[in-house]
Homo-oligomer: A and B are copies of this chain.
Amino acid sequence: MESINDILKKNGLNITEGRKNILGLFLETNGALSHADIEKNTEVEFDRVTVYRTLQKFVESGIIHQIPTTDNTILYALCKDNCVAGHHHDEHVHFICNDCEKTTCLENVTVPTVTLPKGFKPTHSAMIVKGRCLDCNH
């Protein structure tokens, strides 16, 4: 089991309160977090700006990735081991629940490959499924 500090170190980031706290939140959350989620749920309160900058650093260094949404927010979730800086492999399906609004990373469901029209060269794909999640189906 990798410690928070190890993950930060491995990705070339200094170990600071803000980063430990926010990364910790991701580790104990099985799912995706928005900027607002993070701002509200850290032990200590951090400045809005710090949260922005921390998330940005995390994305740059490959610790987390962004998940597309249709409302105008960005969701972030932990990358698995095969994400390295500057080269994300965010190839699993994300599930957004219409009831509880939670987003779940379906690690075991990989995004299928599609055949594109001539001339289109793909580098990454993402897939979102909406519906009702495990918890809301009780």
Name A residues whose Cβ lies closer than 8 Å to a Cβ of B: 66-74, 93, 95, 98, 106, 108-109, 111-112, 114-134, 137
**Residue of B whose beta carbon sits closest to that of A115:** B109
The answer to whether A114 and B93 touch (CB under 8 A), given A72-B73, A123-B98, A137-B119, is yes
Cβ-defined contact, B70 with A70, below 8 A? no
CB of A12, distance to nearest CB on chain B (Å): 23
Cβ-defined contact, A129 with B109, below 8 A? no
Cβ-defined contact, B130 with A125, below 8 A? yes
Cβ-defined contact, A117 with B106, below 8 A? yes
Q: Report how far A73 CA is from B125 CA in the complex, Å.
A: 18
**Residue of B whose beta carbon sits closest to that of A133:** B120
For A67, the chain B residues whose CB sits under 8 A away are 70
Q: Report how far A131 CA is from B117 CA in the complex, Å.
A: 13
Q: Report how far A115 CA is from B92 CA in the complex, Å.
A: 12
Given contacts A66-B70, A68-B70, A123-B131, 20 further A-B contacts (CB under 8 A): A70-B74, A70-B126, A71-B74, A72-B72, A72-B74, A95-B116, A98-B123, A109-B117, A111-B114, A114-B127, A114-B129, A116-B129, A119-B133, A120-B129, A120-B134, A122-B130, A122-B131, A123-B132, A124-B129, A125-B129
Cβ-defined contact, A128 with B129, below 8 A? no
